[in-house]
Amino acid sequence: MSPSWFFGFDVILEVMFAVICLIVALFSFKIYKDTKFRSLKFFGFSFLLISLSYMIQSIFNFLIVSEFNQDVCRIIRVHSIHNFEALGIITHMFLMTLGLSILLYTTLKDKRLRTLWLLILISFAAVFFSKNNLYMFYLISTIYLAFISWHYILNHYLTKQNKTLLVAIAFLFLLFGNFHFLISVNHELFYAIGHILELFAYLFIMLNLYLVRRR
Amino acid sequence: MSRKRERVMIIHDILKAIEEKKGSARPTHILYKSNLSSQMLKEYLGDLIDKKFIEITKDKKNNKFYTMTDRGYKYLQDFHIIKNFMESYDLTE
């Protein structure tokens, strides 16, 4: 899906996204440890899973274009590079779907765990029983990000603060980035544009974290 | 996403009420300062004890006091960071 000129850049960007998500997750867990607010635990887990999904994506993207791929295929007993690529995509989809489901759950403000299970099971069923898994994954992610973005836009509308504005903008960039992945199935260029939009999104998230920590 | 006084703020107000009494306050003082009903305050105090932010102590006359723990002081110290982060992502409960 990635255009050839973008090989390597995507790996670097995905590692960056993984690190930023991990920082947010660890920060959330740190506050959870001190306060025991339930929402922080779920929020931390969602960013941790998203971080892991980017990490897996970057590792597999790196291995696919690197010379190690044949050796790795032999070691993990995968018969061809296509199967190896599929393994990476499935793991990425699994972790990202789970992470986004939990993030959406935190915005719903519903304390019932069965709501979370419903979200997870429906999204997994839709993604993994679809004829075109990748397309359905991007479609589900786009829908979830649209709901999450709308929630953060409303949050900014009610609070009128710079920090909530940054989060709303960040999630709008993630939404548009994800939408480009959705249409990148047929057009390689959109895959690169999607990554660039996600880069802006995570820079806004980091800027927000900087402002949050400043006393 | 209601704009009523958020849980994170109510906890702050209760802890502040205890802190201004040198870290140990009577329930009546906390009730007066926190602007909560006695039932709500009871629930919050129970929650704060569970979170280990405060503990119950008694003086020589067997009067009941709520005393701040180190964890409670840390919450007040980091309050702005906690509040900013939770408000950013609307994680307030």
SS3 of residue A36 by DSSP: coil
pLDDT tens string A130-144: 999 999 999 999 999
Nearest to B76 by CA among B20, B29, B28: B20
The pLDDT of residue A74 is above 70? no
Task: For residues A187 and A201, give the distance between their C-alpha atoms in angstroms, rounded to a whole number.
Answer: 22
Model confidence pTM above 0.80: yes
Contact B85 A28 (CB under 8 A): yes
Partners of residue B55 on adjacent β-strands:
B67
| Residue labelled with tokens 């679809």 | A130
- Whether A151 has its CB under 8 Å from any CB of chain B: the answer is yes
CATH 3.40.718.10 at B21-88, yes or no: no
pLDDT tens string A93-137: 999 999 999 999 999 999 899 999 999 999 999 999 999 999 999
- Whether A156 has its CB under 8 Å from any CB of chain B: the answer is no
Q: How many CB pairs under 8 A join A and B?
A: 66
Range of the domain at A205: 4-213
pLDDT tens string A28-40: 999 998 888 899 9
B38 backbone dihedrals φ, ψ, rounded to 5°: -65, -35
Contact A215 B1 (CB under 8 A): no
- B57 CA to chain A: closest CA distance, Å? 22
Q: Where are the domains of chain B?
A: 21-88
Instruction: Count structural domains, chain A.
Output: 1
